[in-house]
Amino acid sequence: KNEVEQSPQNLTAQEGEFITINCSYSVGISALHWLQQHPGGGIVSLFMLSSGKKKHGRLIATINIQEKHSSLHITASHPRDSAVYICAVRGGSQGNLIFGKGTKLSVKP
Comparing CA positions, the residue from 66, 34, 69, 63 lying closest to residue 50 is 63
For the CB of residue 101, give the shortest distance to another protein in the complex, in Å: 5
Closer of 31 and 60 to another protein (Cβ): 31
Residues in 33-92 that interact with another protein by CB under 8 A: 33, 35, 41-45, 48, 86, 88, 90
Closer of 42 and 109 to another protein (Cβ): 42
What is the sign of the dihedral through the CA atoms of 75, 81, 82 and 83?
Answer: negative
Q: Which of 70, 100, 103, 105 binds another protein (CB under 8 A)?
A: 100
Where are the extended beta strands (E) located within the chain?
A: 4-7, 10-14, 19-25, 29-37, 43-49, 52-56, 59-64, 69-74, 83-91, 97-99, 103-108
Query: Would you tell me which residues interact with another protein (CB under 8 A)?
Result: 2, 4, 30-31, 33, 35, 41-45, 48, 86, 88, 90, 94-102
